[in-house]
Amino acid sequence: MSRGDPLGSSPSHLERPARRSWVEKLEFVSLFLWAFRVAVILVVIVGTYGTVSAGQYPGPVWADLVVFGLAQGSVYALIALGYTMVYGVLGMINFAHGEVFMSGAYTAYFVADALARSGSLDRHPLWSLLVVAVVSMATSTAVAVLLERVAYRPLRHAPRLVPLIAAIGASFFLQYAFRGLYGSGFKAYPEVAVLKGEWVLAGIRILRTQAVVLVASVLMMLGLYVFVMRSKVGTAMRAVSEDREVAALMGVDVNRVVVVTFAVGAAMAGAAGVLYALVFKQVHFFMGFVPGIKAFTAAVLGGIGNIPGAMLGGLFLGIVESVGPILFLDGLGIVAPYQLKDVIAFTMLVMVLIFRPSGILGERLTVKKA
């Protein structure tokens, strides 16, 4: 191969390449990549050392940070499930999934408010919360199914960028539609008396709301995993994501499977919405945008198309956002490290993608040409 042509040679002179010395093999790019990895690892090590040796933060603080990260991360994980499932089945990024999350949480607010005012929320907290969750999940599902039917189904066979733009448009539309319907201010979920306060397990503090979020998410993720692996519909979903045409040939109703995929992903997001609202209380029309992006990052981190990967990615991302700035940046003397928490998250994402281009747990299926 002639080295003279930077764009590559034409095949007309296909000669057997001569043995190149190791110096030539050291391409600029590989060098750069190694330098990048080393730099990041150095930052991590020096920063961690600096923080730990400064000793400003005792053990319980780290435990607290990890717990906060897990709670936030489980919300991301639940939303990420929707992204990853739709991607697995349809091969498209549902940019509007953050808005699906928002629609459930926002709509369920009115139910929660009514329940709180009538006192049911305090007297029968479990039932009330379940009602709120059901409303949220139903709304999210309705929005997602409508979205699929109106915006995505006609574009099923279009080249990949077309549904992406349609999804972006749908995202804007949903945000401002809900703004128009419910108003541009925010609403605050009522306090649930039974969930105030904290528990201490094995010396680790955990807020009650956070415990509920963690447990609920884990249960839902397990449920989803079982559903996808064991049930008939779940198998159909996996078949369609593996090869749509062959699945259709085998008698699977692809349209129905797609609708079910959207619906299940949306239900997860709706549940995430209620959990989010329990912890953070504020809901408003723009609340889905940032968690949507974070959840998408989590899904990619874990390996897009991979359900356990989405869960892992979400939790991992949550912990990195919570612990990372103090652990890495504070030790380097960087001021206001939490302002840069997204920098850490995205750098970590890129690192993971360099080491493992298909995410931590990899693509669910055999590595097809990406």
Partner 1 sequence: MRVSAGRWLGDSPVGTGLIWGAVAVFVALAGMVEAFAERRIIAGVVALGPALPFLAALGAGYHAARRAGGRGALAVLGRGVGAGAATGLAVAGLVAAGGVLNLRAVFVNASPALFSLLSLGLGPAGGFLPILVGAAVGMGGAASSLVSDRARRPVVTGLVAVLVIGLFQEMLQLMLAEGWIQSALRELLFAPDALSRAGSVVVFFVAAGASAAWTYRGERVRQQLMRVPPPQRRLLKLLGLGVGLAVMLVVPLVAGPFLSHVLVLVGLYVLMGLGLNLEVGYAGLLDLGFVAFFAIGAYTVGLLTSTGGLGVAQLSFWAAVPIAVLVSLAAGVILGVPVLRIRGDYLAIATLGFGEIVRLLVLSDFLRPWLGGSQGLLTIPKPSIGGFELRGPEHLFYLTLASSALVAFVAARLRDSRLGRAWMAVREDEDVAEAMGINLVNVKLLAYGLGAAFAGVGGAIFAVMLGSVFPHSFQLLISINVLALIIVGGMGSMPGVVVGSLFLVGLPELLREFADFRFLVYGAALVLMMQLRPEGLWPTAAIRRELHAGEEMGASRQGAWATTRHPG
Partner 2 sequence: MKRMEVALALAVALAVAVGTSFVPAASAQPVTDPIGVVKVAKGQPLTIAYWFVVAGPDASLGVDTRRGIEIAIDDKGGKLLGHPIRLIGEDSGCNAEGGQTAATKLAANKAIVAAIGSNCSSEAVPGAPILWKAGMVTVSPSNTAPKLTAPDRGPDFDGYLRTAHNDKIQGRVAAEFARKVLKVSKAATIHDGSPYAEGLAGVFVETLKKLGATVTSQEAIAPTDTDMRPVLTKIAAGKPDLIYYPIFIAAGGHVTRQAKEVAGLAKVKLMGADGMFSPDFLKAAGDPAVGMYHSSPDLTPEALGPKYKEFQEKHQKKYGEKPLSAFHPHAYDAALMIFAAIEKVAKKDAAGDTYVGRKALRDALYATKNLKGLTGTLTCDRYGDCADPKIAVYQLESADPAKWEPGKNPRKIYP
* Interface positions with partner 2 (CB under 8 A): 56-57, 60-61, 64-65, 68-69, 72, 184-188, 191, 198, 205, 207, 276, 280-282, 284, 286-287, 289-290, 321-323, 325-326, 330, 335-339, 341-342
Choose among partner 2, partner 1, none what residue 61 binds, the Cβ cut-off being 5 to 8 Å by kind. Answer: partner 2
Choose among partner 1, partner 2, none what residue 205 binds, the Cβ cut-off being 5 to 8 Å by kind. Answer: partner 2
Site string for partner 1, 253-292 (x = CB under 8 A): ----------------------------------------
Q: Which of 18, 200, 249, 336 binds partner 1 (CB under 8 A)?
A: 336
For the bound state, the minimum distance from the C-beta of residue 246 to partner 2, rounded and expressed in Å, comes to: 41
Return phi, psi of residue 140, to 5°. Answer: -55, -45
The smaller minimum CB distance to partner 2, of residues 136 and 175, is found at: 175
Q: Which of 138, 142, 155, 254 binds partner 1 (CB under 8 A)?
A: 155
User: Which tokens is 18 given?
Assistant: 């001569």
4-43 residues in contact with partner 1 (CB under 8 A) are 5-11, 27, 29, 32-33, 36
Helix (H), strand (E), coil (C) string for 150-168 = HHHHHHCCCCCHHHHHHHH
- Beta-carbon contacts of residue 61 (< 8 Å; ≥ 6 apart): none
How far apart, in whole angstroms, are the C-alpha atoms of residue 142 and residue 192? 27
How far apart, in whole angstroms, are the C-alpha atoms of residue 217 and residue 276? 11
For the bound state, the minimum distance from the C-beta of residue 45 to partner 1, rounded and expressed in Å, comes to: 19
Q: Which of 305, 309, 313, 331 binds partner 1 (CB under 8 A)?
A: 305
Start-to-end CA span in the chain (Å): 26
Cβ neighbours of 228 (radius 10 Å): 21
How far apart, in whole angstroms, are the C-alpha atoms of residue 46 and residue 114? 53
How far apart, in whole angstroms, are the C-alpha atoms of residue 128 and residue 26? 64
Integer Rg of the chain from CA: 24
User: Which tokens is 336 given?
Assistant: 């206001």
The smaller minimum CB distance to partner 2, of residues 146 and 290, is found at: 290
The smaller minimum CB distance to partner 1, of residues 180 and 223, is found at: 180
159-218 residues in contact with partner 1 (CB under 8 A) are 159-163, 165-166, 168-177, 179-183
The smaller minimum CB distance to partner 1, of residues 60 and 154, is found at: 154
For the bound state, the minimum distance from the C-beta of residue 309 to partner 1, rounded and expressed in Å, comes to: 13
For the bound state, the minimum distance from the C-beta of residue 290 to partner 2, rounded and expressed in Å, comes to: 5
Choose among partner 1, partner 2, none what residue 302 binds, the Cβ cut-off being 5 to 8 Å by kind. Answer: none
The one-letter amino acid at 32 = F
- Beta-carbon contacts of residue 106 (< 8 Å; ≥ 6 apart): 178, 182, 187, 273, 283, 284, 285, 287
Sign of the torsion angle spanned by Cα atoms 316, 343, 299, 68 = positive
User: Which tokens is 229 given?
Assistant: 């692996």
Q: CA angle 71-73-74, nearest 5°?
A: 70
Q: Does 249 bind partner 1 (CB under 8 A)?
A: no
82-111 residues in contact with partner 1 (CB under 8 A) are 87-91, 93, 110
Choose among partner 1, partner 2, none what residue 8 binds, the Cβ cut-off being 5 to 8 Å by kind. Answer: partner 1
The smaller minimum CB distance to partner 2, of residues 156 and 341, is found at: 341
Check: CB of residue 222 under 8 Å from CB of residue 81.
no
The smaller minimum CB distance to partner 2, of residues 36 and 186, is found at: 186
Choose among partner 2, partner 1, none what residue 163 binds, the Cβ cut-off being 5 to 8 Å by kind. Answer: partner 1
The smaller minimum CB distance to partner 2, of residues 262 and 276, is found at: 276
Q: Which of 157, 197, 202, 203 binds partner 1 (CB under 8 A)?
A: 157
How far apart, in whole angstroms, are the C-alpha atoms of residue 266 and residue 281? 21
3-state secondary structure at position 58: coil
